[in-house]
Amino acid sequence: MGNSLKNWSFVTILFVSIMIVVKCGQNENKTTELKEEALTKDQEEVKATIERFLFVAGNYNLDAMREMIVERAMIGIVRVKDGKRTTTTLTIEEYFERVKNRKIRPYYEPVRDYDIFVDDEHLAFVRADAILHAFGVPLSNNIDYFTLMKENKAWKFLSLSFTATPIPNDERIFDLNIFGESYAQAWCSQRPDFVALFYAEDGSLTVNEGTPAVGRLGVAKVAESFMTAFPDMIVTMDSLRTTPEGTEFHWTFTGTNTGPNGTGNKVKISGFEHWQLNDQGLVKESQGTFDAEEYDRQVKYGIKN
């Protein structure tokens, strides 16, 4: 099985290359019509799989990534630097080893447009046009190509490749909404330092009028306390509201209290943070608010039915 999957990886890379050439010759109007059609169930599943993968990849959740990729998957990368293109190929395990040995920072990569081809309900070829952001600033236009195979009713990646073209400096404009989505993603990372990087070095986070956690180390400790108590925690951004006093980041938190001495109960609570941002677009001060009494009740007894 391992050798067959390895062969599949090289075959699918070739197929993707052919698909790119064919796509360039397609009639533009016909392509637009195809994009407007409703996605099939298989296409929806593939799209959800890719969005899940980009989410965990942006958090460098290697365990979650490994579960979604076959053992001998290949990665192909084309980058543009100083006007020149460089190419890199490596196995997924080689990629994981590289990540372990370098400094990593979170990124957020929303897809603007998909082309999804599903053959025989078990093989999918995908082109995804995405913009990679760091802390609300667009850095590169990534065209991602994925080949997936359905295995035991789940889609898994056989090969991954992408081209990364830098966004010109004068177009790297801070996007508050992307910053908020990225911040929420970081809270799901199980990496407290990722949350702290959204704060200025002297920034602070206060929860329910408690003692402010000052500096990135202090913010990371607050994030770590929640991540430890709720290993499966998910934070979603509900909305952003701009007020004369600053920005309100409204969120919903869900998780299961299975950390040390946990109750095993599920918790779902909403709240908001009131931000003051500095000139670099990082959080200078955050005042967090949520219903502590309801939170404690859910930890002890679970969510009301």
Render pLDDT for 47-60 as a digit per residue (tens, 0 to 9).
Answer: 999 999 999 999 99
Cβ(229)–Cβ(259) under 8 Å? yes
Report DSSP state, residue 39.
P
Beta bridge partners of 289: 272
pLDDT score recorded for residue 24: 38
Instruction: Report the alpha-carbon distance of residue 172 to residue 199 in Å, rounded.
Output: 19
pLDDT exceeds cutoff 50 at 67 = yes
Residue 27, CA distances (Å) to 24, 31, 159, 268 in order? 8, 6, 27, 48
| Contact of 145 with 124, CB cutoff 8 Å | no
Q: Write down the pLDDT at residue 37.
A: 66
Q: For residue 8, what pLDDT is reported?
A: 43
Residue 158 has a pLDDT of: 96
What residue type is 276 in one-letter code? Q
The whole-number average pLDDT for the span 168-197 is 98
- What's the confidence (pLDDT) of residue 77? 94
For residue 30, pLDDT beyond 50: no
Question: Which residue has 């909403």 as its token pair?
Answer: 270
Mean pLDDT on 196-218: 97
Closest by CA to 158, choosing from 53, 79, 63, 230, is 53
Name the percent of the chain lying above pLDDT 70.
88
The pLDDT value given to residue 81: 78
Handedness of CA 272, 273, 274, 277 (dihedral sign): negative
pLDDT at 277 (0 to 100): 97
Within 8 A by CB and 6+ apart from 222, the residues are: 205, 207, 213
**Is the model's pLDDT at 15 over the cut of 90?**
no
pLDDT at 16: 43
Asked if pLDDT for residue 28 goes beyond 80, the answer is no
Q: What are phi and psi of 162, to 5 degrees?
A: -160, 155
Q: What is the mean pLDDT of residues 76-93?
A: 89
* Distance of alpha carbon 260 from alpha carbon 116, whole angstroms: 43
Res 80: pLDDT: 81
From CA 157, how far away is CA 145, in angstroms rounded? 11
In this structure, are residues 259 and 230 in contact, taking their beta carbons and an 8 Å threshold?
yes
How much is the mean pLDDT over the chain?
89
Would you state the pLDDT for residue 304? Answer: 82
Q: Give 38's pLDDT tier (boundaries 50, 70, 90).
A: confident
Going along the chain from its start, the domains and CATH numbers come out as 2-171 (3.10.450.50), 176-301 (3.10.450.50)
What's the mean pLDDT in 170-190? 98
What would the pLDDT profile of 229-264 be if each residue is shown by its tens digit? 999 999 999 999 998 889 999 999 999 999 999 999
Single pTM value for the model? 0.86
pLDDT for res 213: 98
How much is the pLDDT for 23?
40
Q: Is the pLDDT of residue 34 over 80?
A: no
- Residue 212's alpha-carbon distances to 84, 146, 272, 285, in angstroms, are 47, 44, 16, 9
Which stretches within 69-191 are classed as H helix? 92-100, 176-187
Q: What would the pLDDT profile of 122-164 be if each residue is shown by its tens digit?
A: 999 999 999 999 999 999 999 999 999 998 899 999 999 999 9
Taking only the tens place, the pLDDT of each residue in 163-176 is: 999 999 999 999 99
Distance from C-alpha of 284 to C-alpha of 219, rounded to nearest angstrom: 11
Task: Please answer whether residues 192 and 220 qualify as being in contact, where contact means their C-beta atoms are separated by less than 8 angstroms.
Answer: yes
Total count of residues recorded for the chain? 305
